[in-house]
Amino acid sequence: MKNYIKYLLAGIFFGIVLIKSEVVSWFRIQEMFRFDSFHMYGIIGLGVVVAMISIQIIKRKNIKDMEGNAITIPPKDPKQVTRYLVGGTLFGFGWALTGACPGPLFSLAGAGYSIMIVPILSALVGTWVYGKIRPSLPH
Amino acid sequence: MELIEFLRQPWPWYVAGPLIGLIVPILLIAGGKLFGVSANLRHACAACVPGDIEFFKYDWKKSGKWNLVFVAGTILGGFIGGWLLSNPDPINISAQTITDLKALGISDFSGMLPSDVFNWENVASTQGIILMIVGGFLVGFGARYAGGCTSGHAISGLADLQLASLLAVIGFFAGGLFITYIIYPFIF
């Protein structure tokens, strides 16, 4: 269990940032989809830039992880256009309906919005149904 | 106590964005892990109700235990951020959004969610079913179909210059805009 403390701490950090930045706010998501504020775009944009620079440094300096292993990021297959566009669009439907993506769903539940248990359970059902019908879906 | 007061204010985007971006290298360096939240929904299915489904037949402890611990932390972080460090003032949403949402009938702008819509009494109404149950289902289904959610594709994937993630993010926004502009007027 000792090896997992670092992931718990990283998760706590993430949960606090999601709340304090108001990324978890249904209103902020509405504002984003209505292009009324730069807030969410600034957060996602700067998040991507900082992560991108970090990944480049890790790759170029061949930095190893804390367990001494080389760090590799498995590439995703861009030839599966259908799954990314159709799956992505379905996710976007859910994102706008609930006003939350998975991280904020969990963070909101922790913040005392117990009603978020409903979309979390539905998301589990959605995941299960995807697994069930996966062989017959185009990817 | 001054530090607590300082932390209680909402954090601006130029502080929060880099902090979220830093989760990517933190997890890579901690153990070569790739930041992504929605995979936990699959791990939970694999752990609890795998059925006889190929997609859930894998060693979830080996590949997913770290991530389930991470998401437990996210819940705990929500508690800390939402209770101990909570901002007492309403969120500073743009006036245009407030006008548009008021026109849809939303009146409570005090919390993170409109309490007149997201409450237990409303779960079984047509509106509640569409927003919370169908919405949640699509979050789970869509995230696995697309192979990731906002964290896995929009942050980790774009940062690693993955074309697949760009396609997924285009889908995220296309779907979100369709619901916001075309569907919302019918469900409010």
Mind listing the pLDDT tens digit of every residue in chain A (139 residues)? 678 999 999 999 999 999 999 999 999 999 999 999 999 999 999 999 999 999 999 999 999 999 999 999 999 998 999 999 999 999 999 999 999 999 999 999 999 999 999 999 999 999 999 999 999 999 9
Residue B146 at interface with chain A, using a CB cutoff of 8 Å: yes
Residues 6+ apart with CB under 8 A from B113: A25, A26, A99, A108, A113, A115
- What is the C-alpha to C-alpha distance for residues B144 and A119, in angstroms, rounded to an integer? 15
Q: How far is A99 from chain B (nearest CA, A)?
A: 8
* Set of chain A residues whose Cβ sits within 8 Å of the Cβ of B178: 89, 92-93, 96
pLDDT attached to residue B2: 81
**Residue B89, Cβ neighbours under 10 Å: how many?**
10
Q: For residue B90, name the pLDDT band (cuts at 50, 70, 90).
A: confident
Domain containing residue A97? 2-37+74-136
pLDDT attached to residue B89: 83
* Set of chain A residues whose Cβ sits within 8 Å of the Cβ of B24: 50-51, 54-55
A7 occurs within a structural domain: yes
Residue among A6, A46, A127 whose CB faces B18 most closely: A46
Residues 6+ apart with CB under 8 A from B73: A7, A8, A9, A10, A11, A12, A13, A14, A15
pLDDT digits (tens, 9 = 90+) for B98-134: 999 999 999 999 999 999 999 999 999 999 999 999 9
> Residue A64 forms beta bridges with which residues?
A70
- Alpha-helical runs (H) found in chain A: 5-20, 26-33, 39-60, 81-98, 102-110, 117-133
- What is the C-alpha to C-alpha distance for residues A55 and A92, in angstroms, rounded to an integer? 26
- What is the C-alpha to C-alpha distance for residues B73 and A13, in angstroms, rounded to an integer? 8
HSE of B34 in the Cβ direction (CA atoms, 13 Å)? 24
Residue B58 at interface with chain A, using a CB cutoff of 8 Å: no
Best CA proximity match to A11, nearest among B80, B70, B28, B158: B70
A43 occurs within a structural domain: no
Calculate what percentage of chain B has a pLDDT beyond 90: 90
- What is the C-alpha to C-alpha distance for residues A89 and B175, in angstroms, rounded to an integer? 4
pLDDT attached to residue B87: 85
pLDDT attached to residue B4: 83
Residues 6+ apart with CB under 8 A from A79: none
Tokens of A70: 């080389």
The answer to whether the Cβ–Cβ distance between B42 and A34 falls below 8 Å is no
pLDDT attached to residue B1: 64
> Residue A70 forms beta bridges with which residues?
A64
Give chain B's mean pLDDT. Answer: 95
If one counts the domains in chain A, the total is 1
Segments making up each domain of chain B, as ranges? 1-86, 119-188
pTM, rounded to two decimals: 0.96
Residue B84 at interface with chain A, using a CB cutoff of 8 Å: no
pLDDT attached to residue A99: 95
Best CA proximity match to B40, nearest among B79, B78, B66, B77: B66
- Angle at which helices B60-79 and A102-110 cross, to 10°: 50
Give the dihedral of Cα atoms B155, B156, B157, B158; nearest 10 deg. 40
pLDDT digits (tens, 9 = 90+) for B1-56: 688 888 888 999 999 999 999 999 999 999 999 999 999 999 999 999 999 999 99
**pLDDT, mean of residues B163-168:** 97
**Residue A65, Cβ neighbours under 10 Å: how many?**
17
A49 occurs within a structural domain: no
pLDDT attached to residue B3: 84
pLDDT attached to residue B28: 97
The answer to whether the Cβ–Cβ distance between B156 and A98 falls below 8 Å is no
Residue A4 at interface with chain B, using a CB cutoff of 8 Å: yes
A102 occurs within a structural domain: yes
A residues 86-105 near B, CB within 8 Å? 86-103, 105
Residue among A10, A15, A31 whose CB faces B30 most closely: A10
Residue A56 at interface with chain B, using a CB cutoff of 8 Å: no
- Among A77, A89, A137, the residue to mutate for chain B (most B Cβ within 10 A): A89
